[in-house]
Amino acid sequence: MPHTAHGHGHAPDVDGQAEILDLDAEVLAEHTASIIEWLPVQASPRRIVDLGCGTGAGTFALLAHFPDAHVTAVDSSAEHLHRLHEKADQRGVADRVRTLQIDLDAAWPDLGTPDLVWASAALHHMADPDRTLRQVHEALAPGGLFAVVELAGFPRFLPEDAPEGRPGLEERVHAASERHHAEHVPHRGADWGPKLTAAGFTLAGERTITVRIEQSRSDAVGRYALSGLQRMRGTVADALPAEDLTALDRLLDTDGPRSILRRDDLVVRTERQVWAARRA
């Protein structure tokens, strides 16, 4: 999942954020399913909490894999939860989903005693993630599993010989974005294994999922690239040389001949890091 603040209330562009979360869910659906299939659950969970659920990528993947489960989908955004509820109705699983709007950095209501807690691209947005880990540990049923999934930055899409005669354009955009996030999102890129252990969990598994999607016929890949680069432009514009900004704007001009939506050489490239931790 992309790095958006759906774990708590710092989302000024809710519509754009919801769109990119939906695209993330669509483009990376196969990889999300493979992560869930890998989880070392001791028995099929019946009570699941999806922390920072966004518009439901994890929620619906979990419901599909665990047909007897019910999911409490937690987010701070009413718009995200509304979208998730609409999708649940459309998919005929509304009776298996409960939505809950809360600020995960504030006091939590009773989430029940879940067998599985799922947090994808959410923990690094917390003001005090160590506190969140302790809260999850306290809420989980004995033997329950906590799955933490983090994306290694927003995916790359362009070939290495970047367009517009600007080799390395995408890498420079990402480098500027990383510098911005290092200052404003200090927990991004954290090693959650030691943090989980310190919170009382026993680490049950860790893996890295390499994502490389080539020759996709879905136009979702182009829209995903467009949405992601548009959001990054808002944070890196002042850090890029004028020539890079011009080249980037050509890619983002959906009506222009060099629009990223017109490209047939996009490749989705990223990694997902997964930690599975158990409450003894």
Assign 108 to helix, strand or coil.
coil
Mean predicted confidence (pLDDT) in 36-57: 96
The pLDDT of residue 161: 66
> The tokens 């599909």 sit on which residue?
64
Which residues neighbour 37 within 8 Å (Cβ) at sequence distance 6 or greater?
65
Residue type for 119, please?
Answer: A
Question: Quick one: tokens of 86?
Answer: 């609409």
Q: Does a structural domain hold residue 7?
A: no
Beta carbons of 165 and 50 less than 8 angstroms apart: no
Q: Does a structural domain hold residue 167?
A: yes
Percent of the chain with pLDDT over 90: 67
Residue 42 structural domain = 14-278
Question: Would you place residue 163 in the very low, low, confident or very high pLDDT band (cuts 50, 70, 90)?
Answer: low
Q: Does a structural domain hold residue 6?
A: no
pLDDT in tens, 220-238: 999 999 999 998 898 899 9
Alpha helices in the chain (DSSP H): 14-27, 29-38, 57-65, 78-91, 129-139, 169-184, 192-198, 220-236, 242-252
Q: Does a structural domain hold residue 3?
A: no
Q: Does a structural domain hold residue 214?
A: yes
Q: Compute the 3-state secondary structure of the chain and give helix, strand, coil in percent, each to the nearest 5.
A: 45, 20, 40
Pairwise CA distance, residues 218 & 230, whole Å:
20
Q: Does a structural domain hold residue 155?
A: yes
> The domain that contains 87 carries what CATH number?
3.40.50.150
Kindly report the average pLDDT of the chain as a whole number: 88
Q: Does a structural domain hold residue 117?
A: yes
Tally of domains in the chain: 1
Q: Does a structural domain hold residue 5?
A: no
Pairwise CA distance, residues 271 & 212, whole Å:
9
Which residues neighbour 89 within 8 Å (Cβ) at sequence distance 6 or greater?
none
> The tokens 């310190």 sit on which residue?
198
Asked if the model's pLDDT at residue 214 lies above 90, the reply is no
